[in-house]
Every structure is written in C-alpha cells, then in structure tokens.
Structure 1
Amino acid sequence: MFGAIAKSIFGSSNERYVKSLDKVVAQIAAFEPVLEAMSDEELAAQTPKFRELLASGSTLDQILPEAFATVREASKRVFGMRHFDVQLIGGIVLHRGEIAEMRTGEGKTLVATTATYLNAIEGKGVHVVTVNDYLARRDAEQMGKLHNFLGLTVGVIVPNLNEYERREAYGADITYGTNNEFGFDYLRDNMKHERSQMVQRPFNFAIVDEVDSILIDEARTPLIISGPTDDKSELYMQVDAVVKQFVPEDYEMDEKTKNISLTEDGVEKAERMLEAAGLLVGSNLYDVENTQVVHHLDQALKGVVMFKRDIDYIVKDGKVVIIDEFTGRMMDGRRWSNGLHQAVEAKEGVRIEPENQTLASITFQNYFRMYPKLSGMTGTAATEAPEFYDIYKMNVVTIPTNVPIQRIDEEDEFYKNTHDKFGAIAKLIREKHEIGQPVLVGTVSIEKSELLSDFLTKEGVKHSVLNARFHEMEAHIVAQAGSLGAVTIATNMAGRGTDIQLGGNVEFRIEDELRELPEGPERDEAIARIKLEVAEQKRLVLEAGGLCVIGTERHESRRIDNQLRGRSGRQGDPGLSKFYLCLEDDLLRIFGPDTLFAKMMNSNLADGEAIGSKWLSKAIETAQKKVEARNYEVRKQVVEYDDVMNDQRKVIYEQRADIMDSETVDEVVVDMRNDTVNALVADACPAGSYPEHWNVEGLKAKALDILGIDVPLEAWIEEDGVDPELVEERIAAMAAEHMNAKMAQDDPAIWRQVEKSILLDRLDHYWKEHLSTLDALRQVVFLRAYAQKTPINEYKTEAFSLFERLLDQIREDVTRILSVSELRMPEPAGLPELPDFLTGHIDPLTGLDNSNDGDGSAFMPELFGTLAGSPQAAVGAGASGENPYADLPISRNAPCPCGSGQKYKHCHGALA
C-alpha cells in the first residue's frame, strides 16, 4: 500500500530514471543553435575534433551532449528528420549499456544512430546486430548515409561475402549484421591457421536490435558449425519402418517439452521388431552395444509422432524444410541435429542427407557476454527484465512515447472451439473491411493462416497471407498492410522489420509500381500521384479507426502478443486490438486449468456463443507467466552447461591465438615433449616403487612409439640403480637430442612452420572430438538424477576430467608426429580460405534449428565429395552455359532451384 502511494507521488523507479536524463537532453539542445549555423563541412569536421578530445583524455560521457547534438543536426540535413527528445533519451540508455524499450513506430533505427556514432568515434568498432539480412542491408544503407556524412565508415555482414569483404566490413567504424553472421564468423575465425585470415577485431560495443528476439527467444539454441559423418540412410529407413508400427499405447509424450519415450510394452515391441530386422545386438534394447540404435529409435519416434508437417516443417522440392517457430519463415538449408532431420526425411520418404559432427559451437549468451559493453532496443522487454539482468547484467528502461497512445485494447473473447472462433474472426474482419479499416491478423502457424484464409474466402473478403510459403514478398506485403481496406494474415510479426504506415507505404509503392519507369518528368508525375493517393487513403483510414489488430490465439510468451498488438497505434495513431481464444488453443489445452475452462465453457456456452471477462484474461496471463518461467529455466540450464564448455573454449581459443601470433612455438613443443616424458615415466615407474615393480617393457615400447628413441632402461637399472626422476631426466635428454638431430637436417624457418601447423591441426582435431564427447555426455548425464546426484555437478566433474585427457592427448600426439614421422616439408605457401562448413543454430534439448540467415545450406562438394547430391547432375544442369535463375533474388548459399541438391553458387549460380 505504502509503495503504491509513494509511486503515485514520486513515480516509479523507471520514471525517475528517465526524468533524470532530461538534464542531458537539455545540454544536447543547448548545442543546437551553434551547430545549425555550421556548414556541412564544418559539421563533418566535428568527428576529428571529438577524436582529438578523446586522445587528450576526455571521456565519451563528456563529449556525449555535443556528439548527440551533432547527430541530430546531421539527421536533419540528410533525412529531414530531427530526433525527438525521447529518441535522445533512448540513445543515452543505449550508450550506457542498457536496454531501451520503445514502442513500435517510435523510430528505434534512428535512435541507435546517436549511441552508434558516439562509440564509433573511438575507432574500436561498433556492431549493430539485426534479426535478418534484409534489415542489416537496409539499416546499413539508410543509416550509412548519416554516418558517412559525418566521416565514419560503415560495413555490412551478410551471407555470400568472401573473406576479404568480411575483413573490410569488420574494419569499418560501424558494422551492421545478423546475430548468426557475427557468431559464425567468430567460430570460423577460431578455426583458421593464420591471424591474417581472421576477419573480426577485438570486441568493443554492440547494439542489439529486437534484443528480446535475439537474446531471449533464440538464446536457447547454440550456434554450431559442423561437418558430415558416414552415411546411414539404410538404418534410418529401417528404424522408421519400425516406429510407424507403434500405436499410441506404446509411448508416452510430453507436448510441453516435445519429449517422447517408450512404455514398457513399447520397449518389448521395439526389441522384437529390431531383432527381426537384424538391428539389435542380443535381445536387450538397452545393452551398451545398442546405444546407437536406441538413439536413432528415439529420434525416429520424435520425428514421426511429435513433429507435424506444415507446422514444424514443410516438404518442398523433395526436401524437408524447417519452419522457424518464432518468425514462421522457411529456413532453407537449416537442419535439425542429432539425426532428427534424417528421421523426418525417412518419415516423408525423401532423400536422406548425412548427419553432421560438431566442429565448433557457442551460445548467444556467451558470445554476446564477450562484448565489454552491450545494449539493446525493442518494443517488448519489460516482461523479461529479470532474465536480461541475471544473464547479461543489462537493465531494461521503458522510454515514454513521443505522442500518447490512442489504441484501444479490447478484452479477449473466448469460444468453445476453433470453428466458432474463426467464424467470429471472419465476421469481424468482413465488417472492418467494409468500412475500409485495415486489418492485421496474427496466427501461430501456417495451418491456422490457411484455415482462416478459407473462412475469409467464403466471406468474400480479399486478403494477403504472409507466412513461410511466401516469405520473399513479406516486406512488401507488410508495408501495405495499413492501406484502405487491406486484410493481412501474418504467421508471426516478430522481427518483420517494416513499419505498417496508415494509408500505405510510399517508398514500397514507388518501388513496386514504377520499377520499369526511367527517371524523368513522367516518373516524377507518377511519384506525386502516389503520394497524393497515400495521403488521401491515410485520411480515410484514420476516419475508419486506424489499424485493427486481431490475434487468433494467445502465444506462449506475452512479448509475442505485445509485438503483434504494438503494430497498431504507432506515433499516436488511433487503432484497435483484440484476441480471440478457444478451448482447442495450444496454450489452453496444454497449460491451462482444464477443469475450470472445460466446466465453464462446455456446459454454459452454446455453439457460436462467446464469453469475455477480465478474470479469464487474468487466468490466461497466469498460464503465460508459467510458460515464460519454464522457458527461462530451460535457457538458464543451457547457459549453465555452456559455461562449463565456455571456460574450456576460452583456453583452447586463447592457445590457438598464442600459437598463431608466435613466430616460433619451439618452447611450447619442448614443454609438451617434457610433459609427455613425465607422464610416461610416472605411469611406468610410480614414485616410491622399486625398479622390479616398474613396467620396463611398456615404457621402452612407448618411448619408441611416441619419442622415436630406444631407451636402454635395463642397462640404466643394472649400472646405476636409477630412480624415476633420473629416468625422466635421461629420457628427456635423449628425446631432445633426437629432435635436435632431426631439425638440423632442414631449414629452421620451414621447421617452425611445420611445428605451428601440426600444433593447430592436433588442437582442432582433439577439440572436435572433445565437443562430440561432451554432446554425448550431456545427453546421458540427466540419468544421474535417479542416483540422487545433481546432473550439472556431474557434468562439470566429468567435463573437467575429459578436458585434462584432451590436453594429454594433444601433447602426446604432437610429440609423436614431430618425433617419429618422416615429414615432407614443402616451401611455405599461402593458406587457403576456410571452406563453407554447414552452419546451424541448434537446440541442444530438442534438435530444433532456429537459424534464419539462410547461410550454409548444403555441403561444399570440394570438401565433402558427393555427399550433398550429384555434382554431375549439378554440372549437367548448367552445362548449356545459361542461368535461367539469373534474375531471381536467390541467396548464393541457398539450394539451387534446379533441384540438384547443391548450393546455388556451386550450381547455376556459378555461371553468373
């Protein structure tokens, strides 16, 4: 009670913090008259002036007011737009490493220019992270005009860039790109063999656009670079045939976690069928020899029962294409991990591609926590504020809107079933359509989009469907969703990145309608006509009530609902939002209090009748909070496990960097050799033991195998009665003498190159094997809970032991290769660029892939032979020397439309 009274008098802590920034805004405004009087050249000269101030000891905070004022003035001259005061506040929040929560339509892209400019002055690089390539290109191009005007360089990181282009883009003062591209470049950099091949600079400052989507929604799924393993297509098909004979009584499934397991009867049935198929060793499914079969059986069961066509994936051109659960987009080239994608391919009877082995991985949490300063902006972050602080140490600051919100948010309406609900939605849409009010409808899947589309067709309402099947046109469809009478059905509005402007979008209409019209009076006349039409349409739409947003059901996360709702009522425009729910919705069916809703609605509601109440809405919000809390725990668990790997990753990557930066690694090699000798002697001659208890033959054999020397151990024992320390010293001396003699035969410069190359090669080889082992450990460590042990503690203990073993293996293998192998030493040559490995953004618990940048869609034939399809077919397809797809906007890393199975750039795209 006292808290509420204090809040009403003094305002919330957020309001007080925002109000405290008014002083800085006033300081910024004080520079405006001086800057307005400057010429363009004088304004651009502000940048070198600021750099001189920083060099002389000034801080970024001290130059902030004048720097922000400079950006505001430059924006007026470049864009004709002056930053609002609330936009300056948002920029201050970003500069301070916090999250600016700003409503849709408040101009977040322009807000970021202030903090971006200020921090780029230092010359250490600023990364602006977006959710897709379209936004990265668009923002780099548009905001680049402002930054270039002020003398800063701008780069953009998108798929299909070569190493030189990437290095140049990262070398710019400001670099735009997607979270996936930044993360994968970091992993690729740490797989390279020369520092000069690396493209990224040391981390400095990052601004994450749609920060909730990137750091929350996608944070459960690590970025993974992988390569192929052996082909096991026959095994997948055999296991799939077995699984398709199961009935619901044979398994138990949990839709909340997408987990499924066999019952006791199901296990017996599986054992009989697998034994008959010759896939089982012995008769017990869970014998250690059957580990691989059990793994494939689990994945096939999940693929057949839990994953639904047209919801989780679609089949297109003979391929299984994943649907992103957050954006509803197709993710061409992305694959589920751990054999799940192969299980779904077997289920659908399409070509089965080989599995992949992890070569490098990192979570977004640990990637972004490497930035000394990290900030973000979004329209919806407050509901996840605790997680942002716990994981990233970032506070969420809610920035007030420039103009008060006029949108009306109506109460939810509940129906008994989907048919009644969609009938009511279609009726409302027809009513709004008839008065010219534009309608945006949010659905949760392709299936629901197409079902609603059928209802609207019956009602005779013209509409556009925006989902994974038509994602190429999404920006153009969204841009016109505010036109008079427009009806747009969208699978998910998160991260669409295009503002819905009432009356339509002038720029997109010009692009769509006047593409073929050359510059001249006729084009100018057409542009003027379009502007008048849009202005008139906007007047009519405002009279009709602005944009009407309809949600066809509640999402698991309140943020996604708020993102949809926030599309209406931008910059003080009128608007309306309303959600429709029914008992068959996933949220109510899986997480809702079944008895409460079932009794109330089934007994008391007639067909087609609706009920609406604040109490029911509150119950829904409670269910959403439960799901959000569960999802947070899952993400937190991912971080806990990756933190263990992250400590090890840092050691390996730092070791690689040290090796690459060193002119010579002979000291490292000598230390490795001495450690190996120490380990060999300690194993064969335990401290405090007598020579008669030593494993003499074993030590001699290992010394010959690993060190390339014949140790006269028996003679030493007979003559001197040596102790283990003396044995170690003598073997180390013999090994050093052997290596010195070997090195004397070759050019020292070439030998140094060979040592570095072998060190890096062995480091990478065993790190890859270690990652595979940790993946397997993670899959089984949860079983330790049955023995009253904490899985994460068990994982930490075993991971540490495995890492120690990894270091021992590297030391021993490097020593063996250098000591024993006959090395051919060619003249030093330039190292090739790192090949395109398969990249993925994989959920470690479910195998779901959440990548959305379209990169790495197939294996490189040069590296992996014919695994990705027939190279002969690909060559034949383009043999005519013509590219029929040259005019289409196809990503070079996307699958070629001809169906060869190759990347476009290796098939028809190679002709371009």
Structure 2
Amino acid sequence: MFGIAQKLFGSVNDRNLKPFRARVQQINALEPVTEALSDDALRGRTAEFKQKIANGAPLDDILPEAFATVREAAKRSIGLRHFDTQLIGGMVMHAGNIAEMRTGEGKTLVATAPTYLNALEGKGVHVITVNDYLAQRDAEWMGQVYNFLGMSWGTIVHGMDDNQRREAYAADITYGTNNEFGFDYLRDNMKYSLADMVQRGHRYCIVDEVDSILIDESRTPLIISGPTDDRSELYIKLNNIIPLLEDDDFEKDEKQKSVVFTEQGNEKLEELLTQAELLEGSMYEPSNVSVVHHANQALRAHKLFKRDIDYIVQKGEVVLIDEFTGRMMPGRRLSEGLHQAIEAKEKANIQPENQTLASITFQNYFRLYDKLSGMTGTASTEADEFSDIYKLGVIEIPTNKPIQRIDDDDVVYRTAKEKFNAIIDDLEDCAKRGQPVLVGTVSIEKSELLSTLLANRGVKHQVLNALHHEQEAQIVAQAGVPGAITVATNMAGRGTDIQLGGNLEMRIEQETAEKESKLGRELTPEEADALKSEIAADIEEKKKIALEAGGLYVLATERHESRRIDNQLRGRTGRQGDPGRSKFFICLEDDLLRIFAADRLDSIMRRLGIEEGEAIIHPWMNKALETSQRRVEQRNFEIRKNLLKYDDVINDQRKAIFEQRIEFMHAKDVSEDIRDMRHQTLEAMVHLHMPEKAFHEQWDIDGLEKTVLEELALPAPIRTWADAEGVATEEVADKLIEFADDAYAKKAIGVGEERMRWIEKQVLLQEVDTRWREHLSNLDQLRSVVHLRGYAQRDPLNEFKSEAFALFEALLTDLRSAVTTMLMRLQVAADDGPAPTEVTPAEPPKAVFETHIDPQTGQNERAEEPQTSTPAAWDRTPRNSACPCGSGKKYKHCHGDVSAQAKA
C-alpha cells in the first residue's frame, strides 16, 4: 500500500525537491542572456544585486539571476559549469538545509552559488571544512570565481596571526576549519579590546562534510586550557596499582565503553591506596575525591584504551588516533587526567593536566549562526539528530548521472582467519584482472595485520593509515590505477576523489619535478606540454583497463558501528556514472558482531551446518547488521544529546558572561557599574554583620569595622553610627556607602578622571576572566560527580542545573566583591600623563593549549608557548606565581600590580 502511494505522489524527498526543480528552469532560461554579457557587465551584476538588497529586496527574489551569474562566472574563470543537480544543491543550502550529494558530484562547486548569493548582504559568509588542506584548496580554487565577480575571499588556517585572521574574516567569504572558527570565537571572548577581536559576527555558514563536523566531532567541546602543577608521581603510583587487581575487582561493559570498580574492587583499591600512602582515612571522604577520580582514570587507561587502536606511542609521546578517519591527532590530549594515565601506562613522558580557560561545544558554536546549512555524501542516517539539535532538514540531491555501482550482500564467516583468507583470495583475483581495489579497515592494527598477510602471500599493495600518512596524497592519487590494492583506514579520501587510471594533476606535478631534477633545469613550455599529453594518454589507457575490469572495487574488512561510515566507504566508488562495486567481509569475531549479536548468529551458522571456509550470504544478514548499527547510532545520539543538555546550562551562562564582557569593552566609562558593585558589596557586608531582624546587642559592629578596614582600607566610624539611638541597619549601610563614595571620589580626583576610568575597566575585565575560569573549573568538577546523585533517586541533570545556577550567583557575588576590594585598596599616584588606551590582559597561563578532546573527534591545535624571558612577555605570568623579574614577590604584588601599571 505504501509503495503504491509513493508511486502516485512521490516520496517526501521528491516533494521537497519539486519547488527547486521549478527554479532551475528559471535559471536555465536566463543562461542565453547571461552568456551574451561581457566580462565587465557580468562582474557589474554584483553591484546591481547589492543595490537591490540595500533597497529591501529579499535574497530569494534575486536568486535565479545570482545563480545564473555564478554559473557563467565559473564557466569563464575555472572552466566548470554547474549541473542542474548542483544548482538544486545550492538552493537547498541557501534555504538552510543539508544537501546530501554523492561522492564525485562536485560539492565544492555547488557551494559557490549560495555562498555568492548570501555574501551580497555584506555580512560575511563562512565556508567550513574538515582540514586546512581542503580549506586552502577550495578557497584558492573557487576564489577564482569570486574574484571574477568582484567578491573578496580569505582563508583561516592554523598558524595565522590576529591581523591575518581579522583581514580574512573581513572578506565577503571566509574559508576555514571548524576548529579554527571555534577557537577564534573563544579567543575573541578572552580579548581586552574590541579592536583585537577577529570575527565580525555569525550570519551564514556552509559546513562541508557536515556529518563529520556536526555529528562525529561534536561529542566533546573545543577547550582552551593552561597547565596545572606536575603530578607525575601520583599517576605512576596509581599505574602500578592497577595490574594488582583481578578480573572480579572491576566490571567492563564494551557496549557502553565503560569500566567501574566492583564493591570488592573498591575495598581492595582502598587497601592498595592506603599502602601506597595516597589515601588518608576512607576513600569516600571529600579530601580523597581527587585520588579516587585518578584511580578510576587509571583503570580506564588499562582496560578500555588499546595501543595501535586508540593511540600510538611515537617518540615518547602518546598520540591519539581518530576512530573515524584513522588519522593521528598530534597535540590533542584527553581531559581529566586520562591522558596522563595512558602516558604512565606506556611509560611515556607525562605532561601536566590542564585547567580550562574557555570552552564551547560545536553544537552551541554552530547554533550561533543566523542561518546554517551543510553538504555531505552521507547525512540521511542521522537526519533525526540534525533536525533535533540543529533544526536542519536533510534533502537528498539526485546524481547528475545514474549510479552504476553494485553493492554486494555482506559475506559472513565464523572466524577472522577464514575471513582474511577469503579477502586475500579475492584481492589476488582482482590484481590478476587489473581491477583497482580500496580495502577499508577500521583500525591501524587491522590494516597492518592485513598488510602482513598480503605480503606473506606476495600480493603487492599500499598501506594508508596514520603510520604512513605522509604519503597519503601519492597513495590516493594512484589508488585508481589498474591492479592497485590500497589498504586504508577511514582516512582515505574525504575531499579527494580516487580517479580511475590515476590522478592527472598529481602525476604531472610529480613527473615534471623528476624530469627537471634529472635535466638540472626547468622544462620548456613545449617539453611541459609534451609531457602533459603523454601522461594524459597513459592515464586514459589505464582508465579503460580499470573500467573493463569493473571499475574501483571497495572491499571492506569489517562493518563500522555507524552505517554512515560504511556508506562513506562505499561512496568512494561509482562516481559520476562510473561502474564500481562494494562488498563487506564480516566474521563473528568482529567487534560489532562480537558485542551485539555473536551468540545468536553463531547458533544460526551451526544449525545451518556451515563448515570452515564457508560463508553466509543473504540480504537478511545485511538487515540484521544494520539493525545492530542502528542501535549503536541511537545510543550514541542519546549520549550526545545528554551531553548537550548539560552544556546548554553552561552555554546560557557563557553567553551572559561573553555579552557582558563585550558591553564593558564597548563602554568608555564603566564607573556606574563599578559604583553599583561597590554599593551591593557594602550592603552585603552590613547585612552579614548587622542582620535586620537581630537586636542591637546581637550586631557584630567590631567585626564589620574590621572587615571594612582590612578588605576595603576604609577607616569608617561604624560604631558611632550604629550606637546612635533608633538607628536601623539600612541607615548604617547608607552612611557606609556615602563614606566609601566620598573616599573613592577623592582617590579618583587624585589620580585623574581619565586614568581612573582606565583602571576601572582594567580591573573589571581582569576579574571577570579570573572568576569565569574558576567557575568553569567548579562546573567541570560538578559534572564529573553529579551522576552519583542518581543513586539517591535524584535527577542528575536537574541537580546540575540548580547547582550550576547557585555557582553562577556565587560568581557574580565574588566578582562584585573582588572588583570593589581591588579598587578601594589601590594606591595610585597623581595623574602625570595621558591614560593608557587599552586594557592589559591578566593571568594568562605561561602556556595556552587549544584542544578538542576525545579520541573520536577531529584534529586539534596547540598554541605555541609564549616566551617569558623578556619583560614584554611578563604580563602572561599567573598572578599568584613568582614574578619573572626575580624579586621573590608574587607577580600580582610586583610587575602585575595594577597600581604599578597606573603609576607608569
């Protein structure tokens, strides 16, 4: 019945595409007119469109003309004409949706149309992709189109300074990676001047490989952090304890990827910690929370994290491996002492833990944009998550040419040995027939194992994983040559196509360099053209051989826990109507089956009498495996959704603090805010020592006088005021506020109004940052333990919300008190020159790290450590650390003293 209805009315996706198809006809109708325009006239359309928008025309009204203009500009500048399906993809993204387009359909070109249209508003368009290479490649390639149309473009990549970043963000169109954009947002909200900020808003964003960025990489936040004290001895002692445990001392759940101590294990752990002199009293006492936490991390390091699967050890350092791409992630570190636990386990160099200075999840960063869109080859399996978290619809774009790829049913064996024997037999046959093969593996360990087995059988092949990533471009370029066998982890190929016969540009570049090196000179234009023609002819011949052998064959050695990753691998073949084939070889010892369905499938195979070397091939097996994958995907979605609920609580507070900081930076004069803080602080002091409902005899007048004198340096005659007949608490508070205001006004006159305004702004921003960092640390600790409230039948999320709110209120109270104390106690010299114009940052740690934690996410960066050997860099010293000048004083009492800066 459902099938009949679909034939009559079309699928939901067909109905979604219908209005876009109608607009394609409008765009095509404009093509003859657009083709007739001169280059200058075509370029002049940009100014015309901008004027229409300035006059109030909505973008949708000029869409057909703008898209036709971009199509013609692409033809003239880079020799590419948008297919109708590419125009549909562009309109889908302009409407704020995700365009699901198959590999090889030209997503890079698709993005130019909505990018140009939205850039006409002059508010900036961000095009975000997964790595620096693709960001630079796409920007330079498509930049030719934007240049032709008079649009400016820039690129954000790792290693750029603030001036370069500011210039790139000021362009009409900015390309870059998700990490760079996210870190720039965090860094901007740590700046002390509006002029120092680099981003200019979040109007419209196109996310390339949107599933990788918004799903895979969103599991954990971007974090800017600084190092804490060295605790190597603790990690080493705990590492020595874990091997003393037995299997009954802990419970491991591979489905949930968790491991916890049993009751027996906790008793044994307490005994071992006491013997190692790491514990005083019971392990449940508050003072021992940190030690117990790190013991749990040491257990996770030993029982959950495996070398050459989750990480590798390289030059004495533990380097994480991305589960989804198989790439190394140098510089990325796991949080909360877990990375240090792994370093202790591997006897590698143990680096200090880090303190969070600023953080944000990708979910909350990308939700800053007024309009968000994306493109990828695989999004439909995660459509619910895109809709729920980002309010993004997923629309499948039809291919320009019909897909000819053959997807064979999975082949299921009982053991890994039988599976690998069958794989090698199949690969030998492909090599003989000249069919290129891309072999997909789920880990470095599996790719190296298969490589060894192939070598033992004398099968020539290439290996592409994190251990051989330097040769990635060359290996991928030759993966489509007849008979080539490329064993790869999932890192093979986001953003790069495997071209049958070989990659023309790569071969020209490589062979030109080799020939010039051999000749000792550059090739003449004639020689270069001849070489290019020779290579092109060779590639065309090899492509024919590969096509006759069946095109690229994708052979997967295992199912991934996500159907999307499997679909990405399949999508490497059958591009632009080429023939291709894909097949998955499975066994009951694979992680997915072993954890979720091994017993059931093993009993089925035994009942069927499957002998060694035989396999089951049936569509039902495919469905059973996809059901298991769907369960894992749903579980991962719930984990991400739950994490986001916690981060939304923090995000509301983050927005409040960041918006307040920007208001302070915009303001030339914050004296009213300072006065309000001073009044509230004094009122709180009075009410603490002189409660309104208490009798006069119960007032702690001496305590109040002492507090006001010690904290605010105010010798106020509070007893005289309080002993007056019939006086009330409020009257004492009013007199104390008036007394403090007079003292502060005299101080301001003495130092000069302008200079005092600068000092106030300096102190206010510094204290906001200091309190926010402390608050983040408190929230991190609260998050790590709040799940224990579930044992008391209380909802951990509600508990977190209420306690986070209480902590935020405490932050505001502490901020008011700290700012008031600092300013009231300042000793400043008279005004002897113009006030500084900029606020100086306070308390940045000696080394700042930018990390995207968790081994199942994208790449990260690590900022360089600032030099502290010169006075110019001393302002990066933590305020409570020894001053770098060697005085022996704390930095805040020496070169970090605000009053000293004011006198200077």
- State the TM bucket, normalised to the shorter chain: over 0.9
> Structure 1 residue 519: deviation in Å?
4.5
Three-state SS of the structure 2 residue aligned to 1:45 is helix
- Cα distance in 2 between the residues matched to 1:339 and 1:304: 13
The answer for the alignment partner of 1:301 in structure 2 is 299
- 1:768 maps to 773
Alpha-carbon offset, residue 860 of structure 1? 6.7
| Maintained 8 Å contact 2:476/2:492 | no
Tell me the alpha carbon deviations over residues 266-294 of structure 1, each in whole angstroms, 9 at most, x when there is no partner.
Answer: 22222222212211112x22222211110
Indicate the residue corresponding to 2:759 in structure 1: 754
Q: What is the CA deviation profile of residues 591-631 of structure 1, one whole-angstrom value per residue up to 9, with x for unaligned ones?
A: 22x33112123563322221111222111111101000000
Asked if structure 1 preserves the Cα contact closer than 8 Å seen for 2:222 and 2:361, the reply is yes
Q: Distance in 1 between matches of 2:622 and 2:803?
A: 47
Q: C-alpha deviations, 1:133-187, integer Å up to 9, x for none?
A: 1100110111111111111111111111011001011111110111001000000
Is 2:739 the partner of 1:734?
yes
Alignment of 1:285-296 (within 5 A): 285-296=283-294
Q: How does 1:223-372 map to 2 (within 5 A)?
A: 223-282=222-281, 284-372=282-370
Q: What's 1:191 paired with? A: 190
User: 1:842 aligned to 2:853?
Assistant: yes
**Which residue of structure 2 lines up, in the alignment, with residue 576 of structure 1?**
581
Distance 1:864 1:508, change over 3 A: farther
**Aligned twin of 2:417:** 419
Say which of 545, 551, 555 aligns to 1:546.
551
Residue in structure 2 matched with residue 907 of structure 1 by the alignment? none
CA deviations on 1:181-216 (whole Å, 9 max, x unpaired) are 100000000001111110001110000000011001
2:596 counterpart of 1:597: no
CA distance in 2, matches of 1:637, 1:860: 41
Q: Give me the whole-angstrom Cα distance separating, in 1, the residues matched to 2:257 and 2:550.
A: 42
Structure 2 counterpart of 1:680: 685
2:11 is matched with: 12
Q: Which runs of 5+ in 1 are unaligned?
A: 868-912
Structure 2, unaligned stretches of length 5 or more? 517-521, 878-904
Tell me the distance in 2 between the aligned counterparts of 1:32 and 1:577: 39
Q: Is the 8 A contact 2:850 2:860 kept in 1?
A: no
Once the two structures are TM-superposed, the CA of residue 433 in structure 1 deviates from its matched residue by 1.3
Aligned positions of 1:806-845 closer than 5 A:
806-823=811-828, 828=836, 837-843=848-854
1:123 matched to which residue of 2? Answer: 122
Q: 2:591 aligns with which of 581, 586, 600?
A: 586
Distance 1:254 1:500 in 2: 39
**Match runs of 1:109-120 below 5 Å:** 109-120=108-119
Matches within 5 A, 1:511-550: 511-515=509-513, 517=516, 518-520=522-524, 521-550=526-555
For the aligned residue pairs, the C-alpha RMSD in angstroms reads 1.9
Residue 717 of structure 2 is aligned to residue 712 of structure 1: yes
- Kindly state the Cα deviation for residue 472 of structure 1 after the two structures are TM-superposed: 2.5
CA distance in 2, matches of 1:75, 1:242: 64
Say if 1:128 and 1:175, in contact at 8 Å, map to a contact too.
yes
Residue 167 of structure 2 is matched in structure 1 by 168
Name the residue aligned to 1:452: 450
Q: Matches of 1:317 and 1:491 in 2, distance apart? A: 22
The aligned amino acid for 1:467 is N
Is the deviation greater in 517-526 or in 557-566?
517-526
* Alignment correspondent of 1:639: 644
Distance (Å, rounded) in 2 between the aligned partners of 1:340 and 1:865:
31
2:401 to 400, 403, 408: 403
Check conservation: 2:406, 2:581, Cα contact below 8 A: yes
AA aligned opposite 2:583: K
* Change beyond 3 A, Cα 1:857–1:388: farther
Identity %: 56
Distance (Å, rounded) in 1 between the aligned partners of 2:344 and 2:387:
43
Stretches of 4+ aligned residues off by more than 6 angstroms: 831-836, 857-867
Deviates more, 1:707-716 or 1:548-557: 707-716
1:488 alignment partner in structure 2: 486
Superposition deviation, residue 781 in structure 1: 0.7
Q: Post-superposition shift, 1:854? A: 4.0
Report the residue type matching 1:424 in the other structure: A
Give the whole-Å Cα distance in 1 for the aligned partners of 2:709 and 2:469.
Answer: 63
The whole-number CA distance in structure 1 between the counterparts of 2:733 and 2:710 is 16
Amino acid paired to 1:193: Y
Deviation at 1:659, TM superposition (A): 0.7
**Whole-angstrom CA distance in 2 between matches of 1:199 and 1:614:** 54
For 1:76 and 1:741, how far apart are their aligned partners in 2?
72
- Amino acid of the residue matched to residue 6 of structure 1? A
Alpha-carbon distance between aligned partners in 2 of 1:820 and 1:193, rounded to the nearest angstrom: 23
Deviates more, 1:111-120 or 1:851-860: 851-860
Q: 1:416 to 1:107 in 2, by over 3 A?
A: same
Matched residue of 1:333: which SS?
coil
Provide the rounded CA distance (Å) in 1 between the counterparts of 2:836 and 2:445. 58
**Residue number among 843, 852, 857 corresponding to 2:859 in the alignment:** 852
Q: Which residue of 2 aligns with 1:21?
A: 20
Count of residue correspondences: 860
CA offset at residue 831 of structure 1? 6.3
Deviation at 1:258, TM superposition (A): 2.5
Is the 2:465–2:491 Cα contact (8 Å) retained in structure 1? Answer: no
Contact 1:195 1:657 in 2 (8 A): yes
Question: What secondary structure, in the 3-state scheme, does the structure 1 residue paired with 2:215 have?
Answer: helix
Aligned partner of residue 374 in structure 1, secondary structure:
strand
Q: 1:857 to 1:511 in 2, by over 3 A?
A: farther
Structure-2 separation of matches of 1:763 and 1:508: 52
Q: Hey, what does 2:71 align to over in structure 1?
A: 72
What is the aligned partner in structure 2 of residue 871 from structure 1? none
Instruction: For 1:13 and 1:28, locate their aligned partners in 2 and report how far apart those are by CA, in whole Å.
Output: 24
- State the secondary structure of the residue aligned to 2:404: coil
Amino acid at match of 2:305: F
Cα shift at 1:679: 1.5
Residue 326 of structure 1 contacts residue 494 of structure 1 at CA under 8 Å; is this kept in 2?
no
Distance 1:339 1:851 in 2: 20
| Alignment partner, residue 905 of structure 1 | none
Q: Assess if the C-alpha contact under 8 Å between 1:840 and 1:851 holds in 2.
A: no
Q: Which position in structure 2 is the counterpart of 1:156?
A: 155
Letter in 2 for 1:191: M
TM-score of the superposed pair, with normalisation by structure 1: 0.92
Alignment partner, residue 88 of structure 1: 87
SS at match of 1:687: coil
Q: C-alpha deviations, 1:777-800, integer Å up to 9, x for none?
A: 011111111111111111000000
- Kindly state the Cα deviation for residue 682 of structure 1 after the two structures are TM-superposed: 2.4
SS in 2 for 1:244: helix
Which residue matches 1:507?
505
TM-superposed deviation, 1:66: 0.5
The TM-score with structure 2 as length reference comes to: 0.93
CA shift digits 1:340-378 (9 cap, x unpaired): 111111111121111100000000000000000000000
Deviation at residue 832 of structure 1 after TM alignment: 7.4
Deviation at 1:256, TM superposition (A): 2.5
2:40 aligned with 1:41: yes
Structure 1 match to 2:894: none
Give the match for residue 886 of structure 2.
none
Contact 1:97/1:373, CA 8 A, preserved across alignment:
yes
Query: How big is each residue's C-alpha offset from its partner over 1:33-77, in whole Å with a ceiling of 9 and x where there is no partner?
Result: 111111212111111111111112211111110100001001111
Matched, 1:664 2:672: no
1:189 maps to amino acid: D
Contact 1:493-1:564 at 8 Å conserved across structures: no
Q: Which amino acid aligns with 1:508?
A: M
